[in-house]
Structure 1
Amino acid sequence: MRASLLLSALSVSSVMAAPVLPEINANSVHADSLKQVSDYFNLLAVKVQQSKFENAVPTCDLSKVVMPQAPSFGLTLKHVALGRGTQNYTCDLSNATALPVANGAVASLFNASCIVAAYPDIGAMLSPVSMNFNLSNLASIAQSLPPSFLKQTLAPTSGMAVSGAHYFTNSTTPFFNMDASAWKIGEAPCAKNNSTPAPEAAAKGQKGEKAVPWLKLVTRPGATGGLQEVYRVETAGGSAPETCKGMPAEFEVQYAAQYWFYGN
């Protein structure tokens, strides 16, 4: 029972069947990319083997799950999502030494609650491993109204259902739409409250980009589902180059991150 549930939750069979989309990005340049994928599937195989000899059924109980940084007192963890998409930037083409300017982000959110709750060691690997695979469709989710974004898939966790979409409604408002999924988790317009540099060991992007910072976001008026805080942690890739030299006026950098949603 436990083994079959683990296989179902992580869709090992669908991954092993080598789906046409999404596919591993063979152009990923960082040296650890193949090792990350190998370590992930080796650990997954160990978990499946162990589960054959255990009677306990994995659960989605988030009450004892601990985030890498502490949320505000009294809040309850409502949802954990793997975000996979792009950080967007603009450049002043008249000044090659100018810094790229952040211009929002777009990402699909995949339901990682059960994986993080039952198998935290596997959950910790989701961001770096997912950076080695292309999303099935990175077309602008912001212009693709629900439920079309629910069709997104991502290896190596193609069995993880989409729980929502992340985009910006204006230059300063990151937005999380999780009302179109089966769980009706809520919607959360947010404002940045705090930022911490990603750990030195954080996974790089497909072209060697550094991981974007970890963030604490607080919800703005209009949030639903009791959501109050959103934390972006376990980031991989997404950072812009140091200057605009050789860059176009607008460009995207692929990234992955975990988003932890807290409320009351």
Structure 2
Amino acid sequence: MLASKLLLSALGATAVVAAPVFPDLNMAAALPGSIDTMSEYFNMLAQKVQESKSMAAAPVCDVSKAVLPQSTPPLPPPAAGLILKHVAIGRGTQNYTCANETAAPVANGAVATLFNATCIASTYPELAKLLVKVALQFNLTQSEASRRLAPSNLAISGKHFFTPSLTPFFNLDVSDTMKLGEVPCAKNASSPAPPNAPVGQQGEAAVPWLKLTAKPGATGDLQEVYRVETAGGSAPATCKGMPADFEVQYAAQYWFYEKSQ
């Protein structure tokens, strides 16, 4: 019973009909398979709840048991002496610019809200992976009152954006309950998303998986960041029919590593 209550509390099985503070389901732009995706999520959630009822004790949120998802070819592993600090699901947009219709879109940063998925990633990795796909079925509201990621109960743990110099930046100090640090980053390595990675709301391919390393100015002992389990976010091959500036919605997992104490 304790295990099932813990799982339901973390994932919010009753949050499909969301309260106003939750992101709204974007029915106009829902993917053709959105109903199947939601069914897959709740079927897996029900399965995990059923399994948890037979556990002698509730599962413990042991971050050391979390396993970083692997790409093909694999990204370089975390550097020696680093340990996992935080896992978040990012939901936002990849941003692009177009010079003319015959040019290829140029990446112009990204903006995303980060939701705390640390315990889910370490205890129920299959659900954490599926939540990225599910997150694309929902559009985030613009209100700061939106403190959860529907249909789960994951709370905001940070913000991701690019500085004016196009440096990827993560702020994990926005939560009232946890202050994990800030980290400007530089790309260290990239690997294509798997062929079966979830596509975006308009069928866009998933953006690559990345390893990022901290630049000067990082706090909270944050050293490395991985973007994995991506969904959507890629630009079209050319700018034909596109505005000068446009966004492509995406979701991903972000894994943050710090120095071992």
TM-based fold match above 0.5: yes
Partner residue in 2 for 1:83: 90
Structure 1 letter corresponding to 2:180: I
Matched AA of 1:75:
L
The CA distance in 1 between the partners of 2:191 and 2:16, in whole Å, is: 37
**Match for residue 145 of structure 1?**
none
CA distance 1:34–1:172, shift in 2 (3 Å): same
After superposing the two structures, state which structure 1 stretch, 26-35 or 43-52, moved more: 26-35
Question: Which residues of structure 2 form unaligned runs of 5+?
Answer: 71-76
The answer to whether 1:215 aligns with 2:220 is: no
Take 1:18 and 1:183, find their aligned partners in 2: how far apart are those partners?
A: 25
2: CA distance between counterparts of 1:110 and 1:68?
A: 18
Compute the displacement of 1:109 (Å): 0.3
Using structure 1 for the length normalisation, give the TM-score.
0.89
1:199 aligned onto 2:194: yes
Task: Note the alpha carbon deviations across 1:138-165, whole angstroms, 9 max, x for none.
Answer: x7xxxxxxxx5x74432111x1110000
2:97 and 2:199 map into 1 onto residues whose CA distance is 21
Match of 1:110 in 2: 115
Q: Residues 31-55 of structure 1: CA distance to partner in whole angstroms, max 9, x if unpaired?
A: 4332222111100011112222222
Over the matched positions of the two proteins, sequence identity in percent amounts to 60
SS of aligned partner of 2:121: helix
- How far apart in 2 are the matches of 1:106 and 1:172? 12
Letter matched to residue 247 of structure 1: M
| 1:136 Cα deviation from its structure 2 partner | 2.3
Letter in structure 2 aligned against 1:89: Y
Partner of 2:222 in structure 1? 227
CA RMSD of aligned residues (A): 1.7
Is 1:135–1:152's contact at 8 Å kept on the other side of the alignment? no
Structure 1 residues without counterparts, runs of 5 or longer: 140-147
Partner of 1:46: 47
Q: Corresponding residue for 2:155?
A: 161
1:257 matches 2:252: yes
State the TM-score, normalized to the length of structure 2. 0.90
Task: Give 2:166's match in structure 1, choosing from 172, 190, 195.
Answer: 172
Q: Deviations over 1:217-261 (max 9, x none)?
A: 000111011111000000000011111111111111100000000
Change (3 A) 1:171 1:242: farther
Structure 1 position 17, deviation (Å) = 3.9
Q: Would you say 1:97 and 2:102 are equivalent positions?
A: yes
Amino acid corresponding to residue 60 of structure 1 in structure 2: C
Q: Which residue of 2 aligns with 1:142?
A: none
Contact 1:187 1:224 in 2 (8 A): yes
Equivalenced residues, count? 250
The 1:218/1:54 distance shift into structure 2, 3 A limit, reads same
Residue 19 (str. 1) matches residue 13 (str. 2):
no
Secondary structure of residue in 1 paired with 2:25: coil
1:29 CA displacement: 6.0
Alpha-carbon separation, structure 2, partners of 1:227 and 1:122 = 26
Q: Which residue of 2 aligns with 1:9?
A: 10
Per the TM alignment, residue 12 of structure 1 is displaced from its structure 2 partner at its CA by 1.4
